[in-house]
Chains A and B, each alone.
Chain A
Amino acid sequence: MLKRLVLSIPVIIFGTTVTFAIIRLGPLSPAAAILGPQGDARAIRQIEQRLGLNEPLWEQYFDFMGNLFMFDLGQSWVINSGTPAIDLIISYAPRTIWLGFWAVLIALGIGIPLGFYAGLNPNTFSDYFASFGGIVWRAMPNFWLAVILVTVLSQSEQLFGFSWTSFIVETNVVTSPNLAVLKNPTRLITDPGQAWTNLAKATKQILPPALVLGSASMGTEMRIGRTAVLETINSKYVETAKAKGVSPRVLVWKHIFRNALIPLVPVITAEAFILIGGSVLVETVFSINGIGLLFFRAAEQGDLPLVGTLMYLFILLIVGLNIVQDFAYTIIDPRVGYDA
């Protein structure tokens, strides 16, 4: 365990160094981004001085790294000049977390049960139906699905005579969901009428983008789930268990289900990475101002403190998740030891 943690340090250093190098050694100019296309070049020097961009590069590098490791994450240069990066992230994050939460939930809640069902009933019509569906979901590109979904939902009334926007609660198809109620969940009890409506709105609004974001992993999980179940069913110990008279119920839940989960673990944790990358696209199309969009904008405009902070957090998250993933193996499969 300790070894793992120690080993993660060079990974973090490497990741943040690469971030710094890409932003500062490339042709991106935060000063030009601040001034805009019509800014006067004379103001450039003034801005560079203010941001410390005229210091030697190595000095900027050590400042940057030092501050990151001290968790002194700095202030945004371009996106919201002067605002602490962490404040910006906090204000953008809830929408992405909400989106990711539903994307994972949809993928897990539909993909895995469907895959297991297909695996337990192989080569039936429902298996073919589910498997084919899985391939289709897997194959549809995010950006395409997102655009189609926005267009269809916006015109649902003309197309199907059913209005998505006024379905159950009135919502927009695009723009960010209002998550205020989640920041203050006690309102669900103190002011139930309003608060539950808002929660319903927020949920309804996030479902289409979450479906898009989760679609690929949903398909993958379905396919892998099916294969894993099939493999386990045909293995010797299941046969043995069957032979010694274990009831089908116990057989499925205890002997098949848990073992079939093993190959799914990396798929599920890998979803976290997909969500970080994929959310950029989905957030743009659905106009949800989340972390993905923020990261893209900040990177494009050379907003180093913001990109650095985001990358740093992403790296910590991914390294952390990998450790958690390895730990999860040991719980599900006792044959895997931590030091092995």
Chain B
Amino acid sequence: MERRSFLKATGSAAAAAALAGCSSDSDETEGTEEGTGGGMDSTDGSGGDVGTDLKQEGDLWRVNTGTMTTMDPIEATDTQSGIVIQQMFDPLMNYPDAQPAVEGLMAADYEVSDDFTTYTFQLKDATFHNGDTVTASDFVYAFERLTASDNSSRAYFVLDSLGVTHETTTETVDGEEQEVYEPGTLGVTAVDETTLEIQLDAPFASTLEMLAYSSFSPVPEGMVGDIEGYEGEVTQAEFSSSSPVGNGPFEFDTWDSGTEARVSAYDDYYGESPSVDGVHFAVIESDSANYNYAMNRNADIFELPTAQYDPGKVSVEEEDDQGRQNGTYGELRNGDTANYSGVSTIGVFYLGFDMASVPKPVRQAVAYAMNQHTVVEQVFKQRGEPAYNFTPKSIFPGGPQNYNDRAENEYPYGYDDSQLGEARSVMEEAGYGENERFAMELTIYESGTWSETASILRDQLESVFIDLEVNQAPFNTLLERGRNGELEMYSLGWVADWPAPDNFLQLLNPPQTDTSLDFPISYVNWQPENGDAAQRAEEAYQSIGDNPAPTEEDQAARNDAYVQLEDANWEDIAMLPVYHELRELFWYDHVDFTPPAGMGPSRQKMNTVSLGDRE
């Protein structure tokens, strides 16, 4: 009897606990919602009205294929954050619809001194989303943050890429003395409210292009206290997650990490006001989820995963002067026909070799075996262009025509051809054979297309006495191992920071590829001992640096040097270019949209997009 009543009691107690559990659970959620305040209240901040979907009917519906990490322009390095930041922040210059020719954005006008080291900008009359006027001193503050803040990931943009004048001070880090930037000494000054002056150490031909990077956007002076001399109105964590204030066509609304983000139209925008109410970004990483989301008409503009893409459904009607192939794609799974635009973005994907551990004959054999055309056709379903030069077509010296001529006539390892015979003989000459095989490891980043490419290559190399072991690693692991000189052969890509060959060819400057350095820029260890052309490459890169000005004369000298560097790379095969990405966007008929050009979708502002009725 006793036991029975105990059981009854505990039974009902358990039931009560379960019920209480349910209700206390929801209480807790409510409590934390009020309690946390700080960082994540962006989640619930949208007017506080529960049950409101962030997505609104008047919004442009888009998809981000990865999660954003920050809304702070000086901190962001990933494309996904960049896409959202691009809508909220306007720097001095802009790539209109991602065309590689820059135009003034916040800059109404600019002048360059005769020695090409002083740039003077007149600012447009604009306001920040908090109502304050954008002044030259906001730019000075923003540039200082970009250079000196601990949160900046792009200080080298200012100090090295642009080379803005500054002073350094000696600091001891880990027992080593280092020259570091001395805060407050940057050569950027506010001449008056609307005039900004930037002083460079030396001329740099892509200065204006560089200034189109959203990292260089103004921020209301004193907003964040992460540099000397400012208290800050909000913490950097708040600024980067829940209260970014910019001057772009859209202002921040909400961001629920990993789920969605929304920016809403800014009514007092100084340029062309957005015609949509806002832009909604759903974060969807999985390809199939992404596809289903688009097919259910939940996105206005979308991309198609390669698995669900059929090149036979593309019909291109015209190729415009920006190299965009425009037309239609259909029929889609849901019965619609979508608008289509494909453009070769300014970037290159390549295989790099650690030249110190992979001998030249092996590298050449890989180059002979690789047929870039086959890879693009079989693996990428033609969603790319085979790459033979490291510098992308649209910025290649002498234009796309010269790129193609060189590839077809001068590429030493077979244009659109897999020359296994040549590969075998170069290996045999070097003493390799059936009993003397060469084994190496290819590390690729996580990508279905690279893993298919790698297995095609592995099968081909089998017959030319090379045993390829293919491994996958996440990006950060790949880079870390590269820096430590632990990669024999690796896959990576480079997308233009600014649209000029020097941005690409710096990866092939031999002294900067030495992995025994603290900060190699690429991991190929190109030295005279392992490559006959190393000297030539180094001289060519030197010549680029010696002719830095945006003049025709210097440009001609640089162009010669660019081509010499490409030639040196062909001879020694430090990096084997594989493909240039073809970026394809699809959109439904109710969207009126100019597709992005070569700088890619992440550089496009959405204020010119308009929407008709959704069906």
Chain A residues in contact with chain B, CB under 8 A? 26-47, 49-50, 54, 75, 78-84, 87-88, 90-92, 94, 97, 147, 150-151, 154-155, 165, 172-176, 178, 180-185, 187, 191, 194-195, 198, 284-287, 289, 293-294, 297, 300-302, 331, 334
Docked complex Cα distance between A241 and B298 (Å): 62
Contact B77 A49 (CB under 8 A): no
Residue of A whose beta carbon sits closest to that of B14: A331
B44: chain A residues at CB < 8 Å are 180, 183
Pick the contact of A287: B173, B293, B473 (CB < 8 A). Answer: B293
Contact B153 A34 (CB under 8 A): yes
Instruction: Contacts A43-B155, A185-B26, A302-B476 given; indicate if A83 touches B50 (C-beta within 8 A).
Output: no
Docked complex Cα distance between A331 and B78 (Å): 54
Within the complex, the shortest CB–CB distance from B265 to chain A, in Å, comes to: 23
- For A26, A28, A46, the residue with the greatest tally of chain B CB atoms inside 10 Å of its CB is A46
Is B494 in the interface zone, CB < 8 Å from A? yes
A42: chain B residues at CB < 8 Å are 155-156, 160, 519
Instruction: Contacts A41-B520, A90-B36, A285-B288 given; indicate if A182 touches B173 (C-beta within 8 A).
Output: no
Docked complex Cα distance between A195 and B39 (Å): 27
Is B259 in the interface zone, CB < 8 Å from A? yes
Is B67 in the interface zone, CB < 8 Å from A? yes
Pick the contact of A88: B14, B235, B257, B475 (CB < 8 A). Answer: B257
A297: chain B residues at CB < 8 Å are 67
A286: chain B residues at CB < 8 Å are 289
Docked complex Cα distance between A42 and B481 (Å): 16
Within the complex, the shortest CB–CB distance from B85 to chain A, in Å, comes to: 14
Instruction: With A37-B445, A80-B70, A334-B3 given, name 13 new contacts (CB 8 A).
Output: A29-B477, A32-B476, A43-B155, A44-B519, A75-B237, A82-B236, A82-B241, A83-B39, A97-B25, A175-B259, A175-B282, A293-B285, A297-B67
Contact A175 B293 (CB under 8 A): yes
- Interchain Cβ contacts under 8 Å between A and B, 25 examples: A27-B481, A28-B474, A35-B479, A37-B493, A39-B153, A41-B483, A45-B519, A54-B173, A75-B237, A80-B39, A82-B70, A83-B40, A150-B292, A154-B296, A155-B333, A172-B296, A173-B296, A183-B26, A195-B51, A284-B285, A285-B288, A286-B289, A289-B257, A289-B258, A331-B11
Which residues of chain B from 453 to 484 have a CB within 8 Å of any chain A CB? 473-477, 479-481, 483
Which residues of chain B from 169 to 223 have a CB within 8 Å of any chain A CB? 173-174
Pick the contact of A37: B39, B53, B479 (CB < 8 A). Answer: B479
Is B272 in the interface zone, CB < 8 Å from A? no
Docked complex Cα distance between A44 and B173 (Å): 13
Contact A285 B259 (CB under 8 A): no
Within the complex, the shortest CB–CB distance from B126 to chain A, in Å, comes to: 28
Is B405 in the interface zone, CB < 8 Å from A? no
Pick the contact of A90: B40, B156, B473, B495 (CB < 8 A). Answer: B40
Docked complex Cα distance between A174 and B287 (Å): 11
A289: chain B residues at CB < 8 Å are 67, 257-259, 283
Docked complex Cα distance between A183 and B48 (Å): 11
Which residues of chain B from 251 to 271 have a CB within 8 Å of any chain A CB? 256-259
Contact B285 A79 (CB under 8 A): no
A195: chain B residues at CB < 8 Å are 51
Contact B241 A83 (CB under 8 A): yes
Main secondary structure of the interface of B (DSSP, over half): mixed
Contact B40 A81 (CB under 8 A): no
Contact A181 B284 (CB under 8 A): no
Docked complex Cα distance between A123 and B32 (Å): 53
B378: chain A residues at CB < 8 Å are none
Is B165 in the interface zone, CB < 8 Å from A? no
Contact A180 B50 (CB under 8 A): yes
Docked complex Cα distance between A326 and B605 (Å): 59
Contact B50 A184 (CB under 8 A): yes
Pick the contact of A79: B67, B156, B235 (CB < 8 A). Answer: B67
Within the complex, the shortest CB–CB distance from A26 to chain B, in Å, comes to: 8
Within the complex, the shortest CB–CB distance from B468 to chain A, in Å, comes to: 20
Docked complex Cα distance between A136 and B50 (Å): 41
Within the complex, the shortest CB–CB distance from A15 to chain B, in Å, comes to: 23
Within the complex, the shortest CB–CB distance from A290 to chain B, in Å, comes to: 9
Contact A36 B26 (CB under 8 A): no
Contact B173 A49 (CB under 8 A): yes
Residue of A whose beta carbon sits closest to that of B26: A185
Residue of B whose beta carbon sits closest to that of A332: B7
- For B30, B67, B445, B474, the residue with the greatest tally of chain A CB atoms inside 10 Å of its CB is B474
Is B38 in the interface zone, CB < 8 Å from A? yes
Residue of B whose beta carbon sits closest to that of A95: B259
Docked complex Cα distance between A254 and B438 (Å): 72
Docked complex Cα distance between A303 and B457 (Å): 34
A287: chain B residues at CB < 8 Å are 284-286, 289-290, 293
Within the complex, the shortest CB–CB distance from A143 to chain B, in Å, comes to: 11
Docked complex Cα distance between A50 and B156 (Å): 17
Docked complex Cα distance between A31 and B475 (Å): 11
Pick the contact of A34: B43, B77, B241 (CB < 8 A). Answer: B77
Docked complex Cα distance between A33 and B474 (Å): 9
Contact A84 B39 (CB under 8 A): yes
Contact B7 A331 (CB under 8 A): yes
Is B409 in the interface zone, CB < 8 Å from A? no
Contact B286 A38 (CB under 8 A): no
B32: chain A residues at CB < 8 Å are 90
Contact A178 B53 (CB under 8 A): yes
B10: chain A residues at CB < 8 Å are 331
Contact A300 B474 (CB under 8 A): yes
Instruction: Contacts A32-B480, A82-B241, A297-B67 given; indicate if A91 touches B43 (C-beta within 8 A).
Output: yes
Contact B257 A83 (CB under 8 A): yes
Contact A39 B77 (CB under 8 A): yes
B50: chain A residues at CB < 8 Å are 180-181, 183-184, 187
Docked complex Cα distance between A57 and B50 (Å): 45
Among all A-B residue pairs, the 4 with the closest Cβ atoms:
A41-B519, A287-B289, A82-B237, A29-B480
B333: chain A residues at CB < 8 Å are 155
A39: chain B residues at CB < 8 Å are 77, 153, 479
Contact B155 A46 (CB under 8 A): yes
Contact B40 A79 (CB under 8 A): no
Contact A81 B150 (CB under 8 A): no
Within the complex, the shortest CB–CB distance from B350 to chain A, in Å, comes to: 12
